Structures are given as C-alpha cells and as structure tokens.
Amino acid sequence: MAAYFVPFWRSLCLIALCAISLQVHAARDDEADDEMDEVTPEELQMQEIPVDERIFVEKWNEVPYKKSYFTYTDKQIRDKWEYLMRGLKVPYPSAAYMKEQFEKYPFMKEDIEGWNGDYQVLEARSLQVWRKFFAGDFQEAREEGLKLGPIGKIPALFSQLMYAIYLADRQSTKYMMLQDVANQAQEYFDDMEEAADDPAVAPIVASVKLGYAYAIARIAEESPVPVVVARRYIGKIKNSAEEVVEIMPDQPLAHAFRAGVDAGIMRRVGKFTGRMTYGARTTTVEESFADALTLAPDIPIVNYEYANALIYMNRKRDLNEAISYLEKAMKIRPEYSMDALDVMYSYKRLQEVRLYALNFRSFRKFEKLRRKYSKKTDRNLTSIISDPLSMDMLNNPDKYILPERN
C-alpha cells in the first residue's frame, strides 16, 4: 500500500505545481484556458516519451510525389549542394573533407559499420544516403545513415524528422520518432563539444543540435502547458536555439528556429509572461526572421514559420500578412524532399488558419480543440497525406478515432 501512495502523492504535488504555473501563465491576450484537464499524472511524471522500436521496422508511408523528381546523380548532388544546403550549410561530404576531420576528431569515425578506411568508398556511401534523403526515401536514408556514425546522423535524423512531422499517420508515432531523434542527437553532444568552435565542423555540430531542439520543440508545441512545464521543455529548447545561432550565425534555419521558439513561447503563455519568465521578445522574433529571410528568402519553412509567428504573437491582427507568407511558401519551387513537404504543409496550414479565422474569436479555444482532437483520435495534424482540419473533426472527434495498433 505504501509503495502505491508514494507515486500517487508525488503526482498530486506535481499537478499542484503545474496548477500554480498555469496561474502565473494566466496573463494572456485572450481568455485563459485551464489545460490541467488535458493531462494525466502519468504524463506529468514522464520526462521522456517511451519509444516503441517497432515504428522503425514497419513500412513507412511514401511521399505523395514522384521521387524521380528529386533523385540526383552524384554529379548533380555536387553541383546542387550549395543550394540544397542553403538552410543548414552542411559541408559536402567529400573524401578529402572526411579524412581531414576524422584525423582531427577521431570520434567522427566511430560507429561506422563495414568501413575499411577507404574514404572514397565512404564518400560514395554518404552520397547514397543524402540521395535518398533528397528524393524522399526516408526510411532507407535513416537506416543507412545511422550506419555511418556522426557523419550520417544529419541525413538520417532529418529523414526521421521529415517523416514524423509530415507523413506519420498517428500523433503517438510522431512523438516517439521525435523523442528518438532527440535521444540520438544527445548521444554525440559531449563528443562534438570540442569541435563546436572549428569552422570546418561547426555546421555539423549546429545541425545535430538543431535536430535535437527541433524534435522536442515539435512535441512541446502540441502539448498542454502543464506537460511543457513539467518536462522543462521551454528551457531546453530556448537554450539550444541560442546555442545553435552562436555556433553557426550564418545558418538561416538556426535564426528561423530561434525566432520560432520565442513566438511559440508567446503562443503558449502570452507576451507578458513569455518576456518576463522566459525572455521571449517580439523584437527577437522579427529580427531573427529578418536575418533568416535575408540569408535564404526562398526556404518554404522559414516563410510559413514566420506566418505562424505572426499569428502566435498577434492573433488576428496580422492575419492577412500571415496568409501572404503562407502563400509565398506555397509558390516556392522545391528542389528536394524537405522543401517539397514544407510547401505542401504550407497549403494545409493555410486551410487551418482560414478555419480559425472564420469560426473562432478565441485563438486559445481553437488551439485547445485542436489538441483535444489530436489526442482523442491519435491523428497527426501536421501530416500532409491526411485531410485538413475541419469543424466536423473538431466537433465530432469520435468519428475520426484511429483503430488501436496491432
């Protein structure tokens, strides 16, 4: 009996603390919603989402376009590399580059499976992984990339991120995949610390850290505030965002992510509490997005995340401007899988924004219903292969519940 009461009382204490946090967070731009009714004591006690490894074995959904559009030869990848990497600034994985960096940082050649030390062979293997990522063969890119140690982490983990966010049917699958990305990225943090100040390797360090922060940010943005507080998501995400920009000040996605983090904080706790408690500022959002758009104006995700930020900060006041950035993102011609999926999601997000604009006065009520729908049905609302959100979905979630897993 005593063994039962310890976790029980611990849960009650955690709930009380989160309730106090919610009162502090009540200074908002529209009415406060108590999100405690959306969580369980078990969710509050859980610091990390348990990952069921079966999600990596079962066959993943295919991208909704012809992969041949973005299936490039080795020469095409070399020629297009600078443009394809305009967001991350990752160096081309040539044999010469890997040999030089591996000699400086021996940890980079650890965990490479089936490699006999031939760097030309390693370059070919690396290009094969990147080719699959660019085309949208995400499951194979993940599997083959993880066999290449740290050098393969970026295409492997970004493949997993793209699949989780845009192609997974279930919210539970999405969350497990995102948690796994964060877990795997963290494994290399200590090793990469010594390379963070090396300009030749900094883009790799920054991209792995960005993958980590982006993964937990995507979980946090759809989680109730008590869960966000209990798991200390905001501190982890904001600190990582600042760190990535410090490591790679010319990485557009780093600036966009930092801006999105501050906007996301305001989305959840309001401008006043966001600024006073977490240091989230509208000036940071505007300046960081301006930096990202100056460095790379034609990245779809930068444009649609700026649209989201305008809504998160100002609700309907800047709705027309937000819609214009979503429409801009939709018009960008993609050259590889990530941009293609970002463009497709921009269209789906536009449908959601219009749904909110036409049917809701309160942004928080819309957000709460959106979270409740996804939790009840286990549907991934950012999947671009599922139907856009509708009022029927929000009002009748029981009609849309996915069947239990086999």
Residue 101 has pLDDT above 60, yes or no: yes
Which pLDDT does position 35 carry in this prediction? 67
What local confidence, expressed as pLDDT, does residue 287 receive?
Answer: 92
Model confidence pLDDT, tens digit, residues 120-132: 999 999 999 999 9
pLDDT of residue 31: 45
What's the CA angle centered on 229, arms 366 and 220, to 5 degrees?
Answer: 55
| Mean pLDDT value of segment 223-236 | 85
pLDDT-derived band at 118 (thresholds 50, 70, 90) equals very high
Higher pLDDT, 1 or 335: 335
The pLDDT > 70 percentage for the chain reads 91
Q: Above 80 in pLDDT, residue 134?
A: yes
- 402 closest CA partner among 362, 375, 366: 375
Tokens (6 digits) for 376:
């009840």
Strand partners, 148: 112
- Name the token pair of 337: 């899988």
Full 3-state SS string of the chain? CHHHHHHHHHHHHHHHHHHHHHHHCCCCCCCCCCCHHHCCHHHHHCCCCCCCCHHHHCCCCCCCCCHHHHCCCHHHHHHHHHHHCCCCCCCCCCHHHHHHHHHHCHHHHCCECCCCCCHHHHHHHHHHHHHHHHHCCHHHHHHHHCCECHHHHHHHHHHHHHHHHHCCCEHHHHHHHHHHHHHHHHCCHHHHHHHCCCCCCHHHHHHHHHHHHHHHHHHHCCCCHHHHHHCCHHHHHHHHHHHHHHHCCCCHHHHHHHHHHHHHHHHHHCHHHHHHHHCCCHHHHHHHHHHHHHHCCCCHHHHHHHHHHHHHHHCCCCHHHHHHHHHHHHHCCCCCHHHHHHHHHHHHHHHHHHHHHHHCCCHHHHHHHHHHHHHHHCECCCCCCCCCCCHHHHHCHHHHCCCCCC
The whole-chain average pLDDT of the chain stands at: 88
Model confidence pLDDT, tens digit, residues 45-89: 778 889 999 999 999 999 999 999 999 999 999 999 999 999 999
Q: What is the mean pLDDT of residues 166-176?
A: 96
* The pLDDT of residue 28 is above 80: no
| Candidate from 39-53, 96-110, 176-190 with smallest mean pLDDT | 39-53
pLDDT 10s digits, 237-262: 988 889 999 998 999 999 999 898 89
In whole angstroms, give the CA distance from residue 72 to residue 128: 10
Exposure string over 333-363, b if 16+ CB within 10 A, otherwise e:
ebbbbbbbbbbbbbebbbebbebbbeebeeb
Residue bearing the bigger pLDDT, 26 or 84: 84
Structure-token match 């801009």, residue found: 328
- Whether pLDDT at 3 is above 70: no
6 confidence band (pLDDT: 50, 70, 90): very low
Q: Work out the average pLDDT over 293-316.
A: 92
25 — pLDDT class (breaks 50, 70, 90): very low
pLDDT in tens, 139-164: 999 999 999 998 899 999 999 999 99
User: How far are the Cα atoms of 99, 146, 303 from residue 249, in angstroms, in the given order?
Assistant: 26, 27, 19
d(CA 393, CA 371): 12
> Could you give the CA distance from residue 326 to residue 277 in angstroms, rounded to a whole number?
30
Which residues, other chains included, contact 393 with Cβ-Cβ below 8 Å and sequence gap of 6+? 373, 377, 399, 400
pLDDT score, position 20: 41
Cα separation, 254 vs 240, whole angstroms? 10
Query: How would residue 395 be classed by pLDDT, with cut points 50, 70 and 90?
Result: very high
**pLDDT tens across 317-376, in order?**
999 999 999 999 999 999 999 999 999 999 999 999 999 999 999 998 999 999 999 999
- Is the pTM of the predicted complex or chain greater than 0.75? yes
